[in-house]
Chain A
Amino acid sequence: MSTLAQTRAMSQRSVLALVRQPALVIPSAVFPLFFAALGTSSFSRAVNIPGFPEVDSFLDFALAGAVVQGILFGSITSATALATDIETGFFDRLLAAPTQRTAILIGRLAGAMAYGFAQTLFFVAVLVPFGLRITTGAVGLMLMAIGGLLTALAVAALMSTMALRTGSSEAVQGSFPLLFVLLFFSSAFFPRETMSGAYRRIADWNPVSHLVEGFRSLTIGEVNATSIAQVVVLPAALAVVTITGALAALAARTRRG
Chain B
Amino acid sequence: MSQSPIFARDLVRVFGSGDSAVRAVDGVDLDVSAGEIFGFLGPNGAGKSTTVRMLTTLLRPTSGTARVAGFDVVTDADAVRRSIGVALQDAAIDPLMTGRELLRLQATLYSIPRTDGERRSGELLERVGLSAAADRRVGTYSGGMRRRLDLALALIGEPSVLFLDEPTTGLDPMSRISLWEEIRRLNADGTTVLLTTQYLEEADQLADRVAIIDHGQIVREGQPDDLKAEVGAPTLFIDVETTLVDTATGVLGTFGELRPTAEGTLGVGLRDGVGAVSAVVRALDEAGVAVSHLEVRAPSLDDVFAEATGYRLEGADTDGATR
- A residues near B (Cβ < 8 Å) are 2, 5-6, 9-10, 13, 16-17, 20-21, 85, 88-90, 92-99, 255-257
**Closest Cβ neighbor of A256 among chain B residues:** B60
Q: Contacts A90-B92, A92-B91 known; A16 to B97 CB distance under 8 Å?
A: yes
Interface of B is mostly: loop
- The number of residue pairs between A and B whose CB atoms lie closer than 8 Å in the complex comes to 77
C-alpha spacing A13/B111, complex, angstroms: 17
C-alpha spacing A257/B106, complex, angstroms: 24
Chain B residues, CB < 8 A from A20: 96, 137
Flag if B105 contacts A9 (CB, 8 Å): yes
C-alpha spacing A9/B82, complex, angstroms: 18
C-alpha spacing A16/B94, complex, angstroms: 11
- B residues near A (Cβ < 8 Å) are 56-60, 78, 81-82, 84, 86, 88, 90-94, 96-97, 101, 104-106, 108-111, 137, 153, 157
Flag if A257 contacts B60 (CB, 8 Å): yes
Chain A residues, CB < 8 A from B91: 88-90, 92-93, 96
Chain A residues, CB < 8 A from B108: 2, 5-6, 9
Least distance between B70 CB and chain A CB atoms (Å): 16
Chain A residues, CB < 8 A from B59: 256-257
Q: Which of B90, B93, B108, B137 has the most CB of A within 10 A?
A: B108
Flag if A256 contacts B58 (CB, 8 Å): yes
**Closest Cβ neighbor of B80 among chain A residues:** A98
Chain B residues, CB < 8 A from A99: 109
Least distance between A229 CB and chain B CB atoms (Å): 38
Residue among A2, A85, A88, A95 making CB contact with B58, cutoff 8 Å = A95
Residue among B81, B82, B94, B111 making CB contact with A5, cutoff 8 Å = B111
**Closest Cβ neighbor of B53 among chain A residues:** A92
Least distance between B74 CB and chain A CB atoms (Å): 9
Chain B residues, CB < 8 A from A6: 108-109, 111
Q: Contacts A13-B105, A95-B58 known; A89 to B111 CB distance under 8 Å?
A: no
Residue among A10, A17, A85, A96 making CB contact with B57, cutoff 8 Å = A96
**Closest Cβ neighbor of A87 among chain B residues:** B92
Residue among B57, B90, B96, B109 making CB contact with A9, cutoff 8 Å = B109
29 CB contacts below 8 A, A to B, read: A5-B108, A5-B111, A9-B105, A13-B94, A13-B101, A13-B105, A16-B97, A16-B101, A20-B96, A21-B96, A88-B91, A89-B91, A89-B92, A90-B92, A92-B58, A93-B92, A93-B93, A95-B57, A96-B56, A96-B81, A96-B84, A96-B86, A97-B110, A98-B81, A98-B110, A98-B111, A255-B60, A256-B58, A256-B59
